[in-house]
Amino acid sequence: MVVLENISKCYRTRRGDVYALRDVNLRIEKGEFIVLSGPSGSGKTTLLMTIAAMLRPSSGRVCIGESDIYAMAISERARFRAGNIGFVFQMFHLVPYLNIVENVLLAGRLSGRNASKAAAEDLLRQLGLGERTGHKPAELSAGEKQRAAIARALFNRPQIILADEPTGNLDPDNASAVLGHLAEFHGNGGTVIVATHGPGAQEFASHTIRLRDGAIEGTE
Ligand SMILES: Nc1ncnc2c1ncn2[C@@H]1O[C@H](COP(=O)(O)OP(=O)(O)O)[C@@H](O)[C@H]1O
Ligand SMILES: [Mg+2]
């Protein structure tokens, strides 16, 4: 359901061109749990953002289901992203001046879904944040922030969740809680792609894709 054909990405900088992805071909089936591994600088973040409809590749095609996502107009792509893709960042990326229920509701608003505050609160409760819904991100621990970010990613009932080193700033207990929530989403039929260089996520993986220097080095 996710197909990448001949994807290359070159960042043009004042210091010259940086080739972050080199002719990547990839097919990810619905319901897989993919771990994307590789050393720092190998292209994991670039690849995730390309799949997430957030970063146009320099060449190649990305199809999600029937949709050729970079052939869409920008507004159509934004709507597609909000309705189909959840993204979890290493550094949480919560909106600092909104409390966490408002952060979650913002995701709903971007998708054009008529979402209730009660639904957002209920989801936060399921993630163990029922007592925290009125708190701003700065008032939460790192583990709580990441669970709030997962709530935001889950809120629109996406088909795919992409997570970029989601446990990189968490202690082991919070890391396994976060991976547990991703595994639960996967258990309910969702597709998960996690970039990581740590071992924790491997136990859930249906496949591991290894990147090196912007190319797929191996799949197992
Ligand atoms: N916005 C950018 N501008 C220029 N180069 C970039 C940019 N983002 C990433 N890169 C470069 O692209 C390569 C891949 O980076 P990235 O996708 O962040 O890898 P990873 O997530 O595996 O660490 C690296 O060489 C990095 O320096
Ligand atoms: Mg990265």
pLDDT tens for the 220 residues of the chain, in order: 999 999 999 999 999 999 999 999 999 999 999 999 999 999 999 999 999 999 999 999 999 999 999 999 999 999 999 999 999 999 999 999 999 999 999 888 877 777 789 999 999 999 999 999 999 999 999 999 999 999 999 999 999 999 999 999 888 988 999 999 999 999 999 999 999 977 788 889 999 999 999 999 999 8
d(CA 129, CA 168): 20
Q: Which two tokens stand for residue 217?
A: 């080095």
Q: Which two tokens stand for residue 100?
A: 């966490």
Look at residue 125 and give its three-state secondary structure.
Answer: helix
Residue 145: per-residue pLDDT:
96
Written as six digits, the tokens of 176 are 């396994």
Return the pLDDT at 135: 97
Contact 213, 18 (CB under 8 A): no
Distance 52 CA to ligand 2 centre (A): 14
- Whole-number pLDDT of residue 110: 77
Q: Report the pLDDT value the prediction gives residue 8, as an integer from 0 to 100.
A: 98
Q: What is the CATH number of the domain that holds 83?
A: 3.40.50.300
CB of 20 sitting under 6 A from ligand 1: yes
Q: How far is the CA of 103 from the centre of ligand 2 (A)?
A: 23
Q: Quick one: which H or E segment has residue 216?
A: strand 215-219
Instruction: Tell whether ligand 1 has an atom less than 6 A from the beta carbon of residue 44.
Output: yes
Q: How far apart are the CA of 200 and the centre of ligand 2, in A? A: 17
* Residue 152: how many other CB atoms lie within 10 Å: 26
Q: What pLDDT, on the 0 to 100 scale, is given for residue 198?
A: 76
Model pLDDT, residue 65? 95
Predicted pLDDT at 202: 86
Verify whether ligand 1 is closer than 6 Å to residue 40 (CB atom): yes
By C-alpha distance, which of 39, 64, 38 is closest to 50?
64
Give me 49's structure tokens: 């953002």
Domain that holds residue 126: 2-219
Neighbours of 41 (CB within 10 A): 14
Label the pairing between strands 85-88 and 67-68. Answer: unpaired
Q: What number of CA atoms fall less than 13 Å from residue 170's CA on the CB side?
A: 26
Establish whether residue 196 lines the binding site of ligand 1, counting it when its CB lies within 6 angstroms of any ligand atom: no
The number of distinct structural domains making up the chain is 1
